[in-house]
Structure 1
Amino acid sequence: MNWKVALPMYNVSPRLQRGYETLLERLLADAGVRAELVAPSDLPAFWRRDDVLLTQTCGYPYVTMLADTVRLVATPCFDFPGCDGSDYSSLILARTASGVRELEQARGRVVAVNEAHSNSGMNVLRHAVAPLARDGRFFGEVKWSGSHVGSMRMLRAGEADLAAIDCVTYGYLRAETPGFLCGTKVVGRSASSPGLPLVASRAVPDELVAALRAALLSPSEALLTLMQEVRINAFEYRTDADYERIRRLEAEAVAAGYPQIA
């Protein structure tokens, strides 16, 4: 099999893209595995391919769509506020000029959401809004941005009043392009849940998954240095039972009568 690898989820700058590519190269060398580094244009389709040796997905599509297609390898522990080990949370941001100072004041406003299947941009925001919703509605309009960076652009342009941005993306933007955060402010924080897992296709042999996991959980000095350059302290192995917390957040919102962002 001509294995493929990609870690595109947090490439918010050229420096970070190079950092993740170098990290992947070192990981493959440490694990003694050969694979081709690719840049997938359609991530949902890529996640389902049999030749994916290693990639990263969001926890929500993992528990709702991918658990039978891929398996968990390891989850990064990021060095950013809002992260606790390999758990993470989202910052709820408002456009500064909107006058919104807390989540309840966003009633009837415009919200920017990155993807319908995003845990950090949709699921945890739905969970936070559910107790405030009336007859299944809270926002005046939902706009789909396509990415966290896209949601931030909508806030800055005055096209939306609120968005949930995961703390890792926010931390990277603050470090790489701090001016990009101008015109926004933090008005809340979501519940925490397991972060974006590194996954492998279920077609990958057990011994290759074990080699990758071992290299991540006990990194070489060279790999650890590269991890620290992209603000990863360590990797942890999380189970399917851990990721069920994401589904519970969804269930709590549904039970409160708020099944979808609206």
Structure 2
Amino acid sequence: MIASLPMYWREENARSWCDFWSCVQSAGRRHGLDLPDLTPPDAIPEPWSDHWLRDDLALSMTCGLPFRTVLKDRVTYVGTLGFGLNCKPGHYYSRVLRRLVRNNPHDVTGIDGLRLAYNSSDSQSGWAASQGGTPFFRAPTYSAFVKTGSHAGSLDAVAQGHADIAFVDAVTWRLLKRFEPASAKVHVAGHTAATPGLPLIATRGTNPAPLRAALLDAVVDFVPQGDPFEMGGPLSFHVLDPQRYFDLPIPAPAPA
């Protein structure tokens, strides 16, 4: 079997994620589960969708957009971690990063003809969120698209002036502010509407009940050795109605 929690994992917080997973493993044993150790993100081959579709997947964290597209009806929804954001439990949103003009945080370009930096076309927070209007009075229009491969790459693209705007998962933004110097070179222009957070999934046909019980125990048992915001925020566990994910619109593909 294989397990992973790749979405908010960084070199700086890998130990904390492993410590949390140890709590999940211990709680799992109390509920009749023998869970494997975590596979780190750099050991997961591309595309990650193949990893998420493995028939021996004990647990992983995916994104809401692939969950409602390529993974729909092909995996078991287990639940959703919360990170103490100011929104509905188990939900999150994107921070909107704008390029500074003349180093004045209040002097930014308008919302038409922008160069958009986005991490991936299968990202809810980086691509799908960029197609809506919030926090603006209408959706921006884009003249160019810069695919960066990661939220950190999108931050760098805006900070260096290669893009005018990027939409970054609010939990990831906490990590970028903590660990990436480029975060001081952008202006946060607000946040998007909240949507269900990153779903935890297991292979299709898995009984989610013991996993849910183990995760509920683990978020209580886990005491981070440092600041919980090193992992993105204080952890909680929620079981949402999966239909909340499927009700979200599927955005048009990113331009080639």
TM range (shorter): 0.7 to 0.9
Of all paired residues, the percent bearing the same amino acid is 27
Contact 2:16 2:224 (C-alpha < 8 Å) held by counterparts: no
Deviation, 1:222, is 3.0
Sort the Cα spacing of 1:23 and 1:144 in 2 relative to 1 into closer, same or farther, 3 A. same
Cα distance in 2 for residues equivalent to 1:76 and 1:59: 13
The answer to whether structure 1 residue 49 and structure 2 residue 54 are counterparts is yes
Sort the Cα spacing of 1:138 and 1:114 in 2 relative to 1 into closer, same or farther, 3 A. same
The answer to whether structure 1 residue 110 and structure 2 residue 115 are counterparts is yes
Sort the Cα spacing of 1:164 and 1:101 in 2 relative to 1 into closer, same or farther, 3 A. farther
Q: Give 3-state SS (helix, strand or coil) of 1:105's partner.
A: coil
Q: Give 3-state SS (helix, strand or coil) of 1:66's partner.
A: coil
Cα distance in 2 for residues equivalent to 1:83 and 1:211: 27
The answer to whether structure 1 residue 60 and structure 2 residue 65 are counterparts is yes
Cα distance in 2 for residues equivalent to 1:214 and 1:50: 22
Cα distance in 2 for residues equivalent to 1:149 and 1:112: 10
Aligned AA (2:27):
D
Deviation, 1:215, is 1.5
1:84 aligns with 88
Q: Deviations over 1:83-140 (max 9, x none)?
A: 431111111111112779599813112110111111101111102279746xxx8211
1:138 aligns with 141
Q: Give 3-state SS (helix, strand or coil) of 1:107's partner.
A: coil
The total of aligned residue pairs comes to 242
The answer to whether structure 1 residue 149 and structure 2 residue 152 are counterparts is yes
Contact 1:56 1:198 (C-alpha < 8 Å) held by counterparts: yes
The answer to whether structure 1 residue 6 and structure 2 residue 4 are counterparts is yes
2:165 aligns with 162
Deviation, 1:220, is 6.7
Contact 1:111 1:139 (C-alpha < 8 Å) held by counterparts: yes
1:179 aligns with 181
Correspondent of 1:197 among 196, 199, 216: 199
Deviation, 1:244, is 2.8
1:123 aligns with 128
Aligned AA (1:110):
R
Contact 1:77 1:83 (C-alpha < 8 Å) held by counterparts: no
TM-score of the pair, normalised by structure 2: 0.83
2:77 aligns with 72
1:212 aligns with 211
> Root-mean-square deviation (CA), in Å?
2.8
Deviation, 1:198, is 1.0
Deviation, 1:151, is 0.3
1:27 aligns with 24
Q: Deviations over 1:188-226 (max 9, x none)?
A: 32111000011111143x2xx322110112437533557
Structure 1, gaps ≥5 residues long = none
Contact 1:121 1:163 (C-alpha < 8 Å) held by counterparts: yes
Aligned AA (2:4):
A
Deviation, 1:44, is 1.8
Contact 2:99 2:108 (C-alpha < 8 Å) held by counterparts: no
Q: Deviations over 1:223-254 (max 9, x none)?
A: 3557983323310001212213433xx4xxx7
Structure 2, gaps ≥5 residues long = none
Cα distance in 1 for residues equivalent to 2:106 and 2:113: 14
Structure number having the greater helix percentage: 1
TM-score of the pair, normalised by structure 1: 0.82
Aligned AA (2:113):
G
Aligned AA (1:217):
L
Aligned AA (1:71):
T
